[in-house]
Structure 1
Amino acid sequence: MTRVVLVHGIAQQLKGPETVAGAWLPALNDGLAISGSKTLPRDDVSVAFYGDLFRRPGHRGLGEPPLDASDMESGLEHELLLSWWQAAAGAEAGVPGPDAPARVRTPRVIQRALHALSHSSFFARLSEGAMIGSARQVRRYFTEAGIRHAAEERLTRAVTVETTTIVAHSLGSVVAYETLCAHPHWQDLTLITLGSPLAVRGLVFDRLHPVPHGGTARWPLPVKRWINIADHGDAVALVKELAPRFGSRIQDLTVDNGAHVHDVRPYLTARETGLVLAEALA
């Protein structure tokens, strides 16, 4: 019985649905326990996994070389990286901003951005190739119709008549929003978005399906309640409040994820997340 469907974000291509569930469910149950609520058994939770859509095929010999700054495509990939850089620099004193002089010889803007982000609390755990790959996954989702459709199909198959709640992290919140809009016959669902970039103008918001009009996006009809949760320093969730763009019914909350501002696990263990999830399940 799938009561809760989890939708992951970027950089999950080397995992699978059981791996994601193995990481998410303990954290989710910790959040429920911390909020004084009952925990969920594994059978009540399903993962809408689409990470494999971004996995590169294997190659003979030495394989593909890792991505570096020269592989960064102009346009959306470039703009995403710069927006993350600006947000991280604004939130963390240890991250040199775009106007700060480079301490190492990084003449290209992209290389400077990658170097600066390596000092941020979220991106410090990622290699340059992983940062570039993360931006590329966002770009591919919005520009490759096959990937977008396949991700929607994965979530569609995961939702059952017993489902009451969808919990979506990062790019997964985009997948969840677009899928919910495409299925107006679904009813009475609670949507919990974590570290969502949905309201970031130009990069995400204006690329959504259905297309927003007049700076306002369509409300997903199956959703009776929408709670959006963001850490104040989360560079991916550049715009922390979704209500101004998606409707005043959204409850925007902030949490403190410590050093791991975009990691889904501290989002899930937060008491605030546990409380809203418990209310949805009740």
Structure 2
Amino acid sequence: MSRVVIVHGVRNYKRGLSATSAADLLAATWTKQLIAGYQDARLEHLAVPEITAAYYADTLHDSESQGAAAGIDDLSPSEQRAVLHWLSALGMPNELAEGQSWGGLPLRQTLDLVARKSGVAAQTLARIAVAFMPEVYSYLASPTRRRRAQEAVAQAIKDSGARVVVAHSLGSVVAYETLHAFDGLGVEAFITLGSPLGLSGAVFDMLDPAPANGHGERPPELRHWINIADAGDLVALPRRLGDRFSVDVHEETHMALADFHTLNMYLACGLTAAALAPHCAS
């Protein structure tokens, strides 16, 4: 049976578990969701690939990293600046006072303004920011944690022998940089789900290798890069990743109202199964 490596996003730290146990737990959960995705795509006649979970969350929760933020006010100044970049990508309102820029507004006021324009509750935006930005910043701001996360993903790919990598959310950033940093991994197909790779300021401008002329470099050896974004995913911004990277196929659909941006949602979607199946034929 073919095998695929799946790279998780934020909020997957399994306190008290070894990296191996955490990876096994995630793989078991994802297998159930991917089976549902194959059913949704009416591909029950095909074998669902075996999953190896690339677990790196423990590398972002070391003695140097900050504890989990309880609320928006607990974010560091750097994390709050990253939140402002994210809110800008969501769409800043036009009703700012004359001479006032969005970057000069208090974060809570900015949240309220974006909430009114987007129709998303300010509390929801705050929860997303608190869940997402600390781990993103923990990864991007520390060369040591960055390298350790990449090593964990590279080792999962090497040990599994997989030629297909599926990466969600922050995991798409870690996997993208891993495919650049390590030679000879043999990955041929890269499927990104709910990816923030193109998010200016908070992610895109901090990538390694650095983008040039507004365009990110495609990982070497890749034959296929498929990006999938839920139309309601507030983290997958800008949604058309192909405008900033050499993505071969970009797919966008409406998946869920309440469970947006979760990896379970993406794996249970037939669109993901349909993208994955051609690269996992035995």
Does the CA-based 8 Å contact 1:122-1:263 persist in structure 2? no
Unaligned runs of 5+ in 1: 58-63, 91-96, 101-107
Per the alignment, residue 20 of structure 1 pairs with: 26
The answer to whether residue 263 in structure 2 is matched with residue 255 in structure 1 is: no
Q: TM-score, normalized by length of structure 1?
A: 0.78
**What's the TM-score once normalised by structure 2's chain length?**
0.78
- Alignment match, 1:40: 48
Shift in Å at residue 86 of structure 1?
A: 5.3
Cα drift, residue 227 of structure 1: 0.3
**Structure 1 range deviating more: 222-231 or 30-39:** 30-39
The reply to whether residue 153 of structure 1 matches residue 158 of structure 2 is: no
C-alpha change, 1:123 and 1:255, in structure 2 (3 Å) is: farther
Q: Residue 45 of structure 1: SS of its match in structure 2?
A: strand
- What does residue 82 of structure 1 align with? 84
Q: Is the 8 A contact 2:166 2:192 kept in 1?
A: yes
Q: Does 2:117 match 1:109?
A: no
Distance 1:134 1:164, change over 3 A: same
Q: What is the aligned residue count?
A: 256
Cα 1:205–1:10 change in 2 (3 A) is same
CA–CA distance in 2 between the matches of 1:69 and 1:159? 36
Distance 1:182 1:121, change over 3 A: farther
- SS of 2:165's equivalent in the other structure is strand
Contact 2:90 2:237 in 1 (8 A): no
Deviation of the 1:21 alpha carbon: 1.9
Q: 1:245 and 1:65, CA in 2 relative to 1: closer, same or farther beyond 3 A?
A: closer
The 3 A distance-change label for structure 1 pair 272 and 120 is same
For residue 60 of structure 1, what is the aligned residue in structure 2? none
Alignment of 1:104-253 (within 5 A): 109-112=106-109, 120=120, 124=124, 128=127, 131-160=129-158, 162-247=161-246, 249-253=247-251
Q: Unaligned regions of 5+ residues in structure 2, if any?
A: 16-21, 97-104
Q: How many angstroms apart in 2 are the aligned matches of 1:148 and 1:189?
A: 23
Cα distance in 2 for partners of 1:156, 1:65 equals: 26
SS of alignment partner, residue 237 of structure 2: coil
The offset of 1:237, in angstroms, is 0.8
Tell me, in whole angstroms, the C-alpha distance in 1 between the residues paired with 2:262 and 2:177.
23
Calculate the aligned-residue CA RMSD, in Å: 3.0
C-alpha displacement at 1:196, in angstroms? 0.2
Task: Give the percent of matched residue pairs that are identical in Structure 1 and Structure 2.
Answer: 31
